[in-house]
Amino acid sequence: MRQLSIASILLALILLEGCELFMEKWYYIYVRNDSKRDIYVVSADGLASVDPYPDTLLPNSQPHLDLIKPNTHIKLVSSRKWEDRINNLIPSDTLSIYLFDADTVNICGWEEVAKDYKILKRYDLSVDDLVKMNWTVTYP
């Protein structure tokens, strides 16, 4: 009986240790807005509707834009390690992150923003760049 209990405990420990393999894990790139204005962010990550680097043209239809309020941050979320995503999904191994003034997008509309390339900032980042930045992109 005692051997059965020990075997049960060992089996439970092995199963619990393996649970991490089946749990969802998320990986983040933080985008921080240290300005006094609302900004939008979108990444050209190989999955979104914005083409990856070296194509830096903006799409005709507005992609999903995440709003970042002043002095706050958002997380760009991936279920894959960003290193793998950047190196395997983006032909250039360079992740582009676009920032837009929220008022410009809201007042002018996406069509004008795309046509006139009205971006605040575009970051073209390698995995090494992101590691050096501790996976945090700060504007300005």
The answer to whether residue 103 sits within a structural domain is: yes
Closest CA to 38 of 67, 73, 76: 67
CATH code, 36? 2.60.40
pLDDT of residue 107: 98
Four-CA torsion 113, 118, 119, 122, nearest 10 degrees: 100
The answer to whether residue 8 sits within a structural domain is: no
Give residue-wise pLDDT tens across range 113-137. Answer: 999 999 999 999 999 999 999 999 9
The answer to whether residue 11 sits within a structural domain is: no
The answer to whether residue 123 sits within a structural domain is: yes
With 60 as the cut, is the pLDDT of residue 19 above it?
no
Cβ–Cβ under 8 Å, residues 89 and 53: no
The answer to whether residue 15 sits within a structural domain is: no
Number of domains in the chain: 1
CA dist list (Å): 131 to 29, 39, 51? 10, 24, 23
Q: Which residue has the tokens 């920032």?
A: 99
Give the tokens for residue 103: 């008022």
Whether pTM > 0.75 for this model: the answer is: yes
Give the tokens for residue 32: 């921080």
Give residue-wise pLDDT tens across range 40-74. Answer: 999 998 787 899 999 999 999 999 999 999 999 99
Helix (H, G, I), strand (E, B) or coil at 69: coil
- Write out the residue range of the structural domain in which residue 76 sits: 24-139
The answer to whether residue 114 sits within a structural domain is: yes
pLDDT of residue 1: 57
Give residue-wise pLDDT tens across range 61-109. Answer: 999 999 999 999 999 999 999 999 999 989 999 999 999 999 999 999 9
